[in-house]
Structure 1
Amino acid sequence: MSLLDVRDLAVSYDGRPAVRGVSFTVEPGEVVAVVGESGSGKTTTAHSIIGLLPRNASLDGGRVLLGENDLATWSPRRMESVRGAQIGLVPQDPSNSLDPVKTVGAQIAEVLRIHKRGDRAAVRRRVVELLTRVGLPDPETRARQYPHELSGGMRQRVLIAIAVALEPRLIIADEPTSALDVTVQRRILDLIDDLRAEFGTAVLLVTHDLGVAASRSDRLVVMKDGRVEEQGPTREILAAPAAAYTGRLLRDAPALSARPFREPVAAEPAIVVRDLVKEFRSGPRAFRAVDGVSFEVPRGTTHALVGESGSGKTTTARMVVRFAEPTSGTVTVAGAPEGRGFRRHVQLVHQNPYGSLDPRQAVADIVEEPLRNFRFGDRAARRARARELLDRVALPEDVLSRRPRELSGGQRQRVAIARALAAGPEVLVLDEAVSALDVTVQAQILDLLEQLQRDLGLTYLFISHDLAVVRQISHTVSVMNKGRIVESGSTRRVFTDPADDYTRELLAAIPEPVR
């Protein structure tokens, strides 16, 4: 008998079907990855299993068998006995999944108290034991801290501690590493593997990251539009996908594709950074976020700054676009005038297409805003330029009248790129510009950026923690760690013959398919 047997599951939101006839099994101790793009139904399926659908959702049909028990027929109150004790949940976002006004120790203890696992002293000992088990240093101190005092990786470890506190038979891990750096991602996935081996726990891994799924799962369930496209052993699907959609996902995943390196180009530098330093002061103390950074970007090429959170790469980018003043050092952008005209020459594309566009404006107003600021033509000329820009980023003209909330994430990022191109810049700084996107949309945006670079001769400074993406998009790369550049060179050389231990650690953390 399977540990979990999902049969013909059907779920709708406000009467609109979201999951349609989904069936799969999870065996004891195995990892099953449910993969697909946003809107495919994978998270809805996972939340259906554990009885955590939102109020506007309804379970319309199917069975959710945990052993011999059909959880689909259980009341919300009865499901409380299953959550934590038999099924643990590791949610997606460690920033929003923990109560900010409770210590992390109190939040782990709550699970133990609800299920009456010992007196106060026993619960306290178990909390420290769990924090130790998930690899948090000084667990007694961590138990007394609040979520904001921990890093993202530490918060995710706390969520894992909560999920495994009662040693459940099944863990549902819903995008457990999507917000984490590549090295932290590897440590979290290693931790889940270790706990699975120790407790014999099965894992249902929900992810849009094909690289993670390929490297960590025994079987794949590929979802699209609420249905299962195909499922089977991971090795077999990677070797010979039966569904065209699966093949496209695998081709688009940077960690799984083997595209040729982009070779460096001999050209005059468009960006020259020399001995850049940025300090932030708190009272008498100064924190040096960027420490003596130097690099050049040849015109018409892409230079990537890579490193973990806190490495200084985004602070460096902000100084390049003059959103922050350096403490010392210089940034020179060839051909860029001083003053207000600088912004016409250099533009920034932000990470989050959901937050970087004004939700109150129509797309036409968003794209035309730089044109109005620089007094480009009359209204008709600006509208014509907006149409041209939308065509350039492969969006239909009818998008002009729509608002950001009516667009997908990929469409929003295309609008953000169109806006950045409006004033005719020569340099774009892209700060994690594809990290919030599904793998297929990400591939489309990367292809678009390459095409724009070829057509317009653009120079890119590309900020990313995703080395698989950097390998695909950049000609040259600088690796940052604790505010310093530890290695720099052509992308081919850095990826195939890294000289620094930190670079090797980053490269080793790129997910590889199971063999």
Structure 2
Amino acid sequence: MTGSESLAEVSGLTIGPTAGGPPVLLDASLSVARGQVVGVVGRSGSGKSSLAFSLLGHVRPGLERRHGSVRVAGLDPFARADARRLRGRVVSFLGQDPASSLNPALRIGNQIAEAVRLRSPAAPPGNVDERVEALLQSVRLPADRAFQRRLPHQLSGGQAQRVALAITLAGSPNLLVLDEPTSSLDTVLAARMRRLLVDVLHDGDRSAVLVSHDPVWLASVADDVIRLENGRIMAPGHPLMSPLAAIVPTQPTGAGAAGPSTDGRLSVKGLAAVHGRERVLHDVSLTVAGGGCTAVMGSSGSGKTTLARCLVGLHRPTRGSVAWWEEAPGPGGSAPVQLVAQDARGALNPRESVRTALMRPLTGIRRQPAGKAAAEAGRLLGLVGLAPEVLGRRPGELSGGQRQRVNLARALAAGPRVLVCDEITSALDPETGSGILDLLNSLRRTLGLTVVLVTHDVVAAARCAEQVVVLDGGQVVESGPADRVLVRPEHAVTRELLACADHLPPGLAACATGTAVGRTVESTRGEGERA
């Protein structure tokens, strides 16, 4: 139940680049009562994260607080002494990337115990182990010693996110700041995580600021929802973004739609791969026609990313082959297969300008002279829909959608025939993600590119791909034309992906019922025991 006492207040907050320029957050005000859940929704680059971070007294590098005040439990999180009293105890943060918050060298039980000792200093030493067990149980993970001794790399994506949530809860905070906590998870894990978060938010008198690009989910869990647009909080009653309008599937418009081509064709036969002693791919085969698009789908841990890394030469398979055809190589050399990674921020050097990022493959791989490469960098930027002034900016000065477009332009700078796109829209809001998918289809049509789209987004697959391959446990469990696999799925894994997907158009939603939903509900029982 929402209380009347205010726990957090943001008043007239403006945040902008330290070097000057338009603010990313303008005169923003926010009030959070005790026991209240406030949702914050908006497109990529609208200022959502900047508003959320302000409750912890944090401003991203390259930005500064120009004016305005923030109070949490009567204290100023931007004051060093107050921040020490607030962080982890009164206010705690959970983001979308658990890997960045967990120490890869420490066992997870030790990391949770360390958080308990730091954030609950009054707890007797003998009670720390009990508290660690209770926290793991509260996020529906095993509490036994064997699980506590695991290292972060031994966890699935969903398990890592739950461990990060346990650490967030270690100090019993009054206010949770959750910044896109499910956007990096596949549809099945995201559905489970959302159910867990609802239970956590309804536990006691806890308040929360929940940042998401999904207005439908926010409306179902939040007491109040505000929308940010270009750094401004829109007036009450302003319509929220409608993801349904943004992601209605369209007929693929790539060159592959006009008929198969040999140039750019990709063939994978009998591929097997391991991580350490664990086999993660088993006899995977697929073929993508020149100019075509094949979507590779599956839940977390199914082997999708390992397959993508094998295709571009970043992971050595133990068996099988990857081959592509290039009938007319470009002058000066090229890299025929290029990866477009999910984490565009991590893929770009934060200290380099966009111009430098684009020039490197143009001069290094394509061996173009500096003058020609500079002109080509500007052309590529225009090809992905960005203005010339972006060339002088660094990744931290760009929105998520802009960074992903730069990531695409850099891949194109190497002159590829095949693009392997690994979850390129998963961290973006629906409208921005829709624009990236439109751009990908446009590039296929204008450049004749062949695309492997690794995704857990059913609608992205329907929008772009002619063929769909579904992985589970490192094996292909279903494959075929997209209009058959996504409308009349034969395998339970495919049906579960459809059942857990959000905002399905009517044609796809019709099959996400019955057995699939039943299997999803059953699969949540004991889910913590699975790796």
TM-score, structure 2 length as denominator? 0.76
Partner residue in 2 for 1:235: none
1:449 positional shift:
1.5
Change (3 A) 1:53 1:126: same
Task: Tell me if structure 1 keeps the 8 A contact 2:271–2:282.
Answer: yes
1:373-401 deviation line (CA, Å, top 9, x unaligned):
4567x666655555544443334455566
1:295 positional shift:
2.3
Identity of aligned residues (%): 36
Q: Which moved more, 1:183-192 or 1:36-45?
A: 36-45
Partner residue in 2 for 1:137: 142
Change (3 A) 1:190 1:346: same
Task: Tell me if structure 2 keeps the 8 A contact 1:269–1:297.
Answer: no
2:48 to 38, 42, 52: 42
1:444 to 430, 435, 442: 435
1:155 positional shift:
2.9
1:512 positional shift:
4.6
Whichever residue aligns with residue 299 of structure 1, its letter is G
Change (3 A) 1:112 1:347: closer
Whichever residue aligns with residue 324 of structure 2, its letter is V
Structure-1 separation of matches of 2:459 and 2:429: 14
1:314-361 deviation line (CA, Å, top 9, x unaligned):
3333443455554333434344589x9995544433334445456557
2:248 to 258, 277, 289: 258
1:100-136 deviation line (CA, Å, top 9, x unaligned):
5554334434454453554222232122122122111
Whichever residue aligns with residue 13 of structure 2, its letter is A
Structure-1 separation of matches of 2:348 and 2:203: 46
Partner residue in 2 for 1:224: 229
Change (3 A) 1:125 1:37: same
1:6 to 9, 12, 21: 9
Q: Do structure 1's residue 276 and structure 2's residue 282 form an aligned pair?
A: no
SS at match of 2:486: helix
Structure-2 separation of matches of 1:24 and 1:293: 51
Task: Tell me if structure 2 keeps the 8 A contact 1:321–1:348.
Answer: yes
1:158 positional shift:
2.2
Structure-1 separation of matches of 2:411 and 2:82: 53
Task: Tell me if structure 2 keeps the 8 A contact 1:427–1:460.
Answer: yes
1:75 positional shift:
5.9
1:39 positional shift:
4.5
Partner residue in 2 for 1:237: none
Q: Which moved more, 1:440-449 or 1:408-417?
A: 408-417
Query: How many residues in Structure 1 have an aligned counterpart in Structure 2?
Result: 490
Whichever residue aligns with residue 301 of structure 1, its letter is G
Task: Tell me if structure 1 keeps the 8 A contact 2:174–2:207.
Answer: yes
1:252 positional shift:
7.1
Partner residue in 2 for 1:427: 418
Show structure 1 runs of 5+ residues with no match: 233-240
Show structure 2 runs of 5+ residues with no match: 505-531
Change (3 A) 1:328 1:341: farther
1:44 positional shift:
3.3
2:98 to 80, 94, 102: 94
**Residues 150-161 of structure 1 aligned to structure 2 (within 5 Å):** 150-161=155-166
Structure-2 separation of matches of 1:38 and 1:8: 23
Whichever residue aligns with residue 259 of structure 1, its letter is P
Task: Tell me if structure 1 keeps the 8 A contact 2:339–2:420.
Answer: yes
Q: Which moved more, 1:433-442 or 1:497-506?
A: 433-442
1:165 positional shift:
4.0
Partner residue in 2 for 1:392: 383
Q: Which moved more, 1:364-373 or 1:386-395?
A: 364-373
Whichever residue aligns with residue 490 of structure 1, its letter is P
Structure-2 separation of matches of 1:99 and 1:385: 41
Q: Do structure 1's residue 460 and structure 2's residue 451 form an aligned pair?
A: yes
1:304 positional shift:
0.7
Task: Tell me if structure 2 keeps the 8 A contact 1:261–1:492.
Answer: no
SS at match of 1:496: coil
Structure-2 separation of matches of 1:323 and 1:124: 40
1:478 positional shift:
0.9
SS at match of 1:132: helix
Partner residue in 2 for 1:296: 287
Partner residue in 2 for 1:363: 355
Aligned Cα root-mean-square deviation (Å): 4.0
Partner residue in 2 for 1:121: 126
1:478-507 deviation line (CA, Å, top 9, x unaligned):
111121111222333333332222222222
1:40-89 deviation line (CA, Å, top 9, x unaligned):
333333333344567985584346465xxx33499654565555555443
Change (3 A) 1:406 1:173: closer
SS at match of 1:177: coil
Structure-2 separation of matches of 1:222 and 1:328: 50
